[in-house]
Amino acid sequence: MVTIYKLSNTNLWSGRIDGVDATDLRFHQIVQLQTMDTITKNEPAFAMIGFASDEGVRRNKGRIGARLAPDEIRKQLAKLPYNLNHDRKVFDYGDVICENDQLEKAQAELGENVHKLLLHSTIPIILGGGHETLYGHYVGARTYAGDDKTIGIINIDAHFDLRSDALPSSGTMFRQILQNDDNAGYLCLGIQRFGNTTALFETAAEYNCQYVLEENMNLMNIQNTFEKIDEFAEKYDYIIMTLCTDSIMASAAPGVSAPSPLGLDPKIVKKLLTYTAAKENTISFDISEVNPKVDEDNKTVRLAAYLVAETMKSFSEKEQR
């Protein structure tokens, strides 16, 4: 068996209990563990699913350890107050686990699960894993949308991930998508000049990728980036969103596959995520490249949990407008 689907451990969802009233609850009191075969009806819900994979990072010659992230993010998220819309349930559907080197099969399995979750009116919250998580995420969204609909991918990342390596990896996903899908578009926020070769900038131009450089993004001028997001999102039927945590400055996120000393302020990343999640056509989110193996005092894992919670809150608030 090359891929394994595993239910989450109930012990991951534990923590302090302040009470049982709605205003006292934390995530661990809200989350319900489910298996994929229990989805039988459409209901407003968040659907967490992990992608425990290091294979794409290994192929891309990065620091392995991201396969440990889904459970570690769950542990930190469990402790946070549940300050979201209580009309929307939260289910944890466990993990797709990439065994050995069978990345492509694991991505296909993740895609099948994301497709099923979208069909049942849930919002997939995908906990990677290396950034190869995004390809499985995309496969699920494309199957759900059908071939005739357009999909825009908004990626917060220091790197284009447009490499042309012989084997798919955590650095090839967007090229894989764009060279095979004429109805897909790509906007990358946080690109670093010295995180990408000149050839990769040329590839980005060849595929008509849009991007905003990290050096042009700060809290004072973030409205400029919001306008870029608006312009991009208006062109597509559906938007899917992905965060590569190596886009964040290493002082705030040291536990990633490729740490960046000149990355984005996490407050900017939070604003980008919440702004994009609030778009009516944004349907799903993944967070990738958290590497607990090289983290410092759970700093990166804790930040990831907060960013997931903030993004979920933005998703839930747009339903109340």
Q: Could you report the average pLDDT of every consecutive run of 10 residues in the chain (321 residues)?
A: 76 95 95 87 89 96 96 98 89 95 96 96 96 98 98 98 95 97 98 97 98 96 98 98 98 95 96 98 98 98 98 87 55
Is domain 3-318 classified as CATH 3.40.50.920? no
In this predicted structure, what is the pLDDT of residue 320?
Answer: 60
Here the tokens at position 118 are 């979208």
> How far, in Å, CA of 296 to CA of 311, rounded?
24
Query: Which letter does DSSP use for residue 84 in this model?
Result: S
pTM: 0.96
Per DSSP, the residues of 13-69 read: S------SSGGG-BHHHH-EE--GGG--S--SEEEEEEEE--HHHHHTT----GGGH
In sequence order, which ranges of the chain are alpha helices (DSSP H)? 27-30, 55-59, 69-78, 103-119, 133-145, 173-178, 198-206, 222-233, 266-277, 299-318
Contact criterion met (CB below 8 Å) for 102 and 2: yes
> How far, in Å, CA of 96 to CA of 107, rounded?
9
> How far, in Å, CA of 319 to CA of 88, rounded?
10
Domain boundaries, the chain: 3-318
In this predicted structure, what is the pLDDT of residue 44?
Answer: 83
Query: Residue 191: what are its φ and ψ, rounded to 5°?
Result: -60, 135
Q: ∠ CA 178-128-36 to the nearest 5 degrees?
A: 95
Contact criterion met (CB below 8 Å) for 124 and 171: no
Contact criterion met (CB below 8 Å) for 30 and 15: no
Helix, strand or coil, per DSSP, at residue 294? helix
